[in-house]
Structure 1
């Protein structure tokens, strides 16, 4: 259990910082949904949906490739790091040049011909964020979680602070005797664009703080090592791109596939995107776990008890994820007030998206079979199949069921990917996962959520009492079932 505690502590550091950072960032949801209409919020959501696809291409899978090939014996002169960093720097430099010369063309294609600056600003944000990914990966590999967390927190704090400054404070000053300096920092005509400007300035701040890690460029570029890294990382890029299709494509397609006029489609896109944010707690935990687990899985692979440890990691991961699922779904009456009233019509997608993210987390755990056996190409095919399912179900279900169809498509995709990955893992890297108990916890969580929905109309007391009773029941079951394993691990 000692190694699990170490993984848990690393996850906690990443997790607490991510939770606090996302909490700060999540404060933007009520700010933006109360400041802008659902149609305007849909514009921001669409750009961030595209950013997911581009960020994967701009990194090229070299983040995971660095973990696979990094020089553990000589970390002060890690050629794998410098080789990957030079490649990412070149790709993103070329990308931004392309955006700089084609911003108007891209803006016109996206139906934002009057705002080419959105494309330019967002292109620079993407380039800066992709360039920062490898320095962050190096911090994770060196287990410098506190510095990692500090920079992430500062980035989000700057984003939130500047957004409040531009969206709330400056308009009030402008409306009532504006001071002379205001004309140099604020123009009411930019409006929604200040969301992008705040993000851009925060990304620039992050890049400055990571300059010490960029010094690794002096270690040079190894062509032979690059060829090996490329063969390993290219399928990881495909996996990442397919993953973004599964995560983001629904928000890109809703604008075009909903059977309404453009304004209504953008409004529903805004509603769905805002409700998607309510699954943020699950996403936060999965992201924090990923930060800690990816270097851990590679570093621990040579141990004799590695597979037993991986099985325990997945079990406790599921226990925690089901608790998050219940926390949000049982207390949804409270969480709904984090967004404007216009956006609450889409709350029905929240439990579905939470379950989808739970299965995504399971897939992240199960994916060790292709990462540790260098079968990344096979892993890519699993992701491509999931992406194909996502595309097909969204094209089929969005016109029929609206954004509910997108939510169900996301769940179907991640559940199927987890199942396929489990079956392939049994063949190429068998791990004795406690499958019955894992599925039992998931079904228990779903059952308690359905029980609340059934009992709520007949419940005469405050709703939080019923929610708390059901949450307590889950925690009691977990405590009874896991009491003996935890005691054995402690001894």
Structure 2
């Protein structure tokens, strides 16, 4: 099997495992926006933004370090695995113990109900304890087991959400003196979102527990120091990334007037979900590509392979960008059926393009990962975080969530460009810049025409999409055909 076919197979399986959690998010958006309303949906979105940062802090770059050290120290593979597992387990238990002791103070500081913060802390801990087992599956190229457990988690979460929002209210109403009445709250429905997530995370960890026994606990101070040294820049990059990914919702909550803040966060977060198609594609690709990059770093044609992969990622990403823009009015009625949210639709092209830039950045980041220069990832991500924070602080008071969307696009675009320029100096990859840039510019230009100039006219949008697809087909059919024959 050629490296491209193997990559496609793994990416497809990881994509399936990634698609279903994202599909859960998509399926539940219409339910959430209808049942919760803009304010409670805003509470959900802003607390989940904090959880994104928490996930990064609790894994502290060990995921990437695990990949690198397992491949770099094959003779000590078992000790590397047990050291990483021990490190993450101990740090997670300490985190949960300390934060639960100060839960009320933390809730007051963050301006959330203490109940919500408790749920969030427990979810963070359970998800952190599941990190190493899932990484183990990826590092040992067992995508099917990875996918099955991820899909199981999705099914549990989805089932619980449907129960809490569609079944429980009826049971509570029809049996007023029953157990169901005591656990149902009409005014606090957002709590059920966190409870469903918490139960699903707990059950998933139980399913993964046999890997704890298989990997075992052990610790090497020398290996841990090396892993942490490698992981620390990844941690800094992860913190910066979480700022880029989630702090827009947090800053909207605190920078806008209190009487509109939660509703504005809810509207913005709901329309942000329309960018899930690009996020899904980029995330699935990254999950498949990261072990691939490390495993083929020493191959003779590694750089050319990386260049080809990046070009085709850009092509498929550009098609997704234009497709979603053309059919955005169809998607909005399916995913966000409540018209009170549609005022934020103008952010969708910006968010889609931003996530495409982020996906390209992840492809370009191969240079600092395979050369052990992860500090550059930290530098680039910190720069992106500075752009995110600076523009959000500047623009939110002026143009609300529009400023957040602009900040996201500027941050990911600048990170993409910086990674390319630094990479070409330190690990030159022969990217086809002419075609990659051409596809990006053309897809972006057609998107602007379809969405802003022709105001989402479906006929004109379809013509633009067809023209783009034909240009890609005639430009790439020879090379794409040769790849399929390998």
Structure 1 and Structure 2 fold alike (TM over 0.5): yes
Are the structure 2 counterparts of residues 238 and 76 from structure 1 closer, same or farther at C-alpha, using a change threshold of 3 Å? closer
What is the distance in 2 between the residues matched to 1:253 and 1:323?
Answer: 32
Instruction: Give the match for residue 468 of structure 2.
Output: 474
User: What is residue 324 of structure 2 aligned with on the other side?
Assistant: 328
Aligned match of 2:118: 120
Other-structure match for 1:439? 437
Aligned to 1:153: 151
**Other structure's SS at 1:347 match:** helix
Alignment partner of 1:96 is 2:90: no
1:179/1:300 Cα in 2 relative to 1: closer, same or farther (>3 Å)?
farther
Aligned residues: 483
Classify the secondary structure of the residue corresponding to 2:102. helix
Encode CA deviations 1:132-170: one digit per residue, 9 max, x unaligned: 111111111111111111111111221121112112211
Distance 2:236 2:73 in 1: 30
- Residues 196-235 of structure 1 mapped to structure 2, 5 A cutoff: 196-235=194-233
Counterpart for residue 144 of structure 1: 142
Aligned residue among 419, 422, 425 for 1:424: 422
Q: Which residue of 2 aligns with 1:270?
A: 266
Partner of 2:312: 316
Q: Does 1:487 align with 2:481?
A: yes
SS at match of 1:220: coil
Matched residue SS, 2:428: coil
Aligned to 1:301: 297
Find the residue that maps to 1:302 and give its secondary structure. coil
For residue 284 of structure 2, what is the aligned residue in structure 1? 288
Aligned CA distance change for structure 1 residues 138 and 176 (closer, same or farther; 3 Å): same
- Structure 2 distance, partners of 1:418, 1:387, is 13
Aligned partners of 2:371 and 2:76: how far apart in 1?
A: 27
How many Å separate the matches in 1 of 2:217 and 2:37? 50
Cα offsets for 1:396-439 (capped at 9, x unmatched): 11111211111011111111111111011011110000011001
* Per-residue CA distance 1:295-351 (angstroms, 9 max, x = gap): 100000000000000000000000110111111111011011111211111000000
1:386 to 384, 387, 390: 384
Matched ranges for 1:20-419 at <5 A: 20-70=20-70, 78-112=78-112, 115-178=113-176, 180-183=178-181, 186-188=184-186, 190-258=188-256, 261-337=257-333, 338-339=335-336, 340-419=338-417
TM-score by length of 2: 0.95
Distance, in Å, in 1 between the alignment partners of 2:166 and 2:76 is 46
8 Å CA contact retained: 1:356, 1:410: yes
Assess if the C-alpha contact under 8 Å between 1:173 and 1:179 holds in 2.
no
CA distance in 2 between counterparts of 1:94 and 1:245 reads: 24
Cα deviation digits, residues 468-487 of structure 1 (max 9, x gap): 33222211111100011123
- What stretches of structure 2 of length at least 5 have no aligned partner? none
- Structure 1 residues 79 and 71: alpha-carbon distance in aligned structure 2, compared to 1, 3 A threshold: farther
Q: Which 5+ residue runs of structure 1 have no aligned equivalent?
A: none
Question: 1:5 — aligned with what?
Answer: 5
Provide closer, same or farther for how the CA distance between residues 179 and 395 of structure 1 changes in structure 2, counting only shifts above 3 A.
same
Deviation at 1:280, TM superposition (A): 0.3
Instruction: Report the CA distance between 1:210 and its aligned residue.
Output: 0.8
The separation in 1 between residues aligned to 2:240 and 2:77, in whole angstroms, is 33
Residues 329, 351 of structure 1: 8 Å contact kept: yes
The CA distance in 2 between the partners of 1:263 and 1:175, in whole Å, is 32
Q: Answer yes or no: is the 8 Å Cα contact 2:325–2:451 preserved in 1.
A: no
Structure 1 pair 426/76, CA: closer, same or farther in 2 (3 Å)?
closer
Residues 302 and 74 from structure 1, CA distance in 2 versus in 1: closer, same or farther, beyond 3 angstroms? closer
Q: CA contact under 8 A between 2:255 and 2:396: conserved in structure 1? A: yes
TM-score normalised by the chain length of structure 1: 0.94
Q: In structure 1, what is the Cα distance between the partners aligned to 2:81 and 2:381?
A: 26
SS in 2 for 1:374: coil
Give me the whole-angstrom Cα distance separating, in 1, the residues matched to 2:60 and 2:170: 44
- Greater shift, 401-410 or 308-317, is seen at 401-410
Distance in structure 1 (CA, Å) of the matches to 2:245 and 2:148: 27
8 A Cα contact 1:83 1:226, kept in partner: yes
Q: Against the structure 1 CA distance between its residues 186 and 74, is the aligned structure 2 distance closer, same or farther, given a 3 Å change threshold?
A: farther
Q: Is the 8 A contact 2:173 2:181 kept in 1?
A: no
The CA distance in 1 between the partners of 2:298 and 2:329, in whole Å, is 47
Q: CA RMSD in A?
A: 1.9
Per the alignment, in what secondary structure is the counterpart of residue 213 of structure 1? helix
Q: 374-383 vs 49-58, which deviates more?
A: 374-383
Q: Is the 8 A contact 2:350 2:406 kept in 1?
A: yes
